[in-house]
Amino acid sequence: MTNIMRQYLNWKTYLAVVALLIVGASLYYTNRLASRLADEERRKVEEIAGALKILSNPTNTTDPETAKAINTMAQNKTIPLIIADDKGNIVDKINLDSTRSAKDKDYARKQLEAYKDEHNPITVDYGTGVDYVYYGESYLLTQLRYFPYVQLGIIVLFLVVVLLALNAAHRSLQNQVWVGLSKETAHQMGTPLSSMEGWLELMRDEHGHTEAIKEMQNDLDRLKLVADRFGKVGSAPNLEVENLITRLQDMVAYMQKRSPRKVAITLHASDTDVPVNISGPLFDWVMENLIRNALDAMGGEGKIDITVTNQPTQVVVDVADNGKGIPAHQVKRVFAPGFTTKKRGWGLGLSLAKRIITTYHHGLIFVKSSEVGKGTTFRIVLKR
C-alpha cells in the first residue's frame, strides 16, 4: 500500500512538473511573439505618422507619395490611434470603440492617458507645428498577451479534474481491496468455525453445560457474528428499527467481561428506549472497534464513557476515553484505510466503521475532540 501511495504521489508530481513546463514554454514563446508583433505595430504607426506628414500638405493629389500615404492610412484597421497637438488637444482619433465613445464623452481622453502610459508617442513635425501620435495595442496583440494566462487556467482545471479522477479511482481501488479482503476472511473463517461448533457439542455431551463451555459458546457465537459482518461488507445491509439502548447495553456487557479489571465501561442514557433504523450486527462492529481502540489507548487502566443523546431528528452517540489521545496532525487521517498507530494492525477498523456509518446508515462519524495525554471522544450521529 505504501508503494501504491508513493507511485500515486509521483504521478501528481509528474503532472505538476509537466504543467509548469508547458506554461513556462508557452509564456516564453507567446512573449516572443507578442514582442515581435508589438515591434511590427510600432513600425506601422511610424509609417502612419509619415503618411500624416505627407497628407498635411500634398502638392499633388496624383503624386505617388500621396497615394501611398492614403493607402497606408486606409490599411490601418486594427491599431487604435489618437493624434494630439503640442498642447494636448485631441486632433483626431482612429479605430477607437465607437459604441463606448458615444456613451462616454471622456472616453477618448481616458484612452489618451492610457496610451501615454503604454508607449512613447511618435512625433509628426509639419514644419509649422508638431503633433503627437499616441497608440494602443491591437485586439490581436491584447489577446496574445492574455493567452498564456487563459492556457494556465485551462491546465489548472485539467489538473484538478485529473487529480479528482485519480482520487476517485484510488478510493474505488481501496474499497475493492477491503471488500475483497473482508469477504475472503469470512469465507476462510467458515470451516474452522463449523469444526469448533462440533467440538463444543462433544464437550457439552461429555461435561455438561458448565460455565466455561457457556462462555466458549458465547465467544464462538461472537466469532460467527464477526464472520457474518465481514461477509456483509460491500453488500447493502437490511436496516431495521431497533432499541439502540438495548444494543449498547449488550455490547458494554460483552466488552466489559473481556476488558482489563481496571477499565470501567459505562453507558449513559436518559431514555431507556431509543428506536433507530440500523443494521444491528454492523453497528455492533462499529462500537466494538471504537471500544477496542479506546482500550488500546488506555494501557489497561481507565474509563470509557458511552453517552447517548436522543434528539428529535437524530441520535448522537459519544464514545469517550481517558487514554493517550491522538496528536492533532493525525486526527484527519484516523479514518484513512491503512492508517494505524499500532505496531500490529492493518488500519482497517476505523475505515470500515466510517463506511458502515456513512454509506450504510447515512450518518456521520468523526473525532469530536482529542488531546494528547487526556483522551479522545468519537461521535456517531444517526439520523432518524
Q: What is the residue-wise DSSP string for 245-279?
A: HHHHHHHHHHHHHTS-TTEEEEEEES-S--EEEE-
pLDDT of residue 62: 58
- Residue 147 within any structural domain of the chain: no
Calpha distance 83→93 (Å, rounded): 6
**Model pLDDT for residues 104-149, shown as the tens digit of each residue:** 888 888 888 888 888 888 888 887 788 899 988 888 888 888 887 8
Phi–psi pair at 299, nearest 5 degrees:
65, 35
* pLDDT above 70: residue 61: no
Domain of residue 105, residue span: 2-142
Please give the tally of structural domains in the chain.
2
pLDDT reading at 275 higher than 90: yes
Are 9 and 120 in the same domain? yes
Q: Are residues 377 and 249 part of one domain?
A: yes
Grid cell locating 381: 450521529
Residues 323, 304 contacting (CB under 8 angstroms): no
Confidence (pLDDT) at 269? 95
Same structural domain, 249 and 135 = no
Ranges 8-17, 48-57, 281-290: which has the least confidence = 8-17
Residue 310 within any structural domain of the chain: yes
Domain assignment present for 87: yes
pLDDT at 55: 79
Owner of C-alpha cell 458502515: 356
Q: What is the pLDDT of residue 253?
A: 93
Q: Which amino acid is at 133?
A: V
Q: Band the pLDDT of 285: cuts 50, 70, 90.
A: confident
Mean per-residue pLDDT for 48-73?
A: 75
Average pLDDT score over the chain: 83
Q: Can you give the CATH number for the domain in which 339 is found?
A: 3.30.565.10
Q: What is the pLDDT of residue 1?
A: 46
Judge if 254 and 357 occupy the same domain: yes
> Would you say residue 232 lies in a domain?
no
pLDDT given for residue 178 in this prediction: 66
Please report whether residue 228 resides in a domain: no
Q: What is the pLDDT averaged over residues 155-181?
A: 77
pLDDT at res. 33: 87
Q: Single out the residue of 133, 136, 135, 137 nearest to residue 84, CA to CA.
A: 133
Summarize the confidence of residues 177-201 as an average pLDDT: 76
Residue position matching grid coordinates 464477526? 226
Q: How far apart are CA 208 and CA 292, in angstroms?
A: 33
Q: What digits encode the pLDDT tens for the residues 341-367? A: 666 555 678 888 998 899 889 999 999
User: With a threshold of 0.85, does the pTM exceed it?
Assistant: no
316 φ/ψ angles, rounded to the nearest 5 degrees: -110, 130
pLDDT at 46 over 60: yes
Range in 147-161, 195-209, 342-356 the model is least confident about: 342-356
Look up residue 357 and give its amino acid.
I
162 in a domain, yes or no?
no
Which residue, 142, 167, 196, sits at the end of a domain?
142
Shared-domain flag, residues 375 and 248: yes
Beta strand extents in the chain (DSSP E only): 81-85, 90-94, 122-125, 130-135, 240-243, 263-269, 275-278, 302-310, 314-321, 364-371, 375-383
* End position of a domain, from candidates 142, 158, 186: 142
Where a domain ends, among 118, 142, 166?
142
Residue 273 pLDDT > 60, yes or no? yes
Distance of alpha carbon 366 from alpha carbon 318, whole angstroms: 10
Residue 212 within a domain: no
In this structure, is residue 245 part of a structural domain?
yes
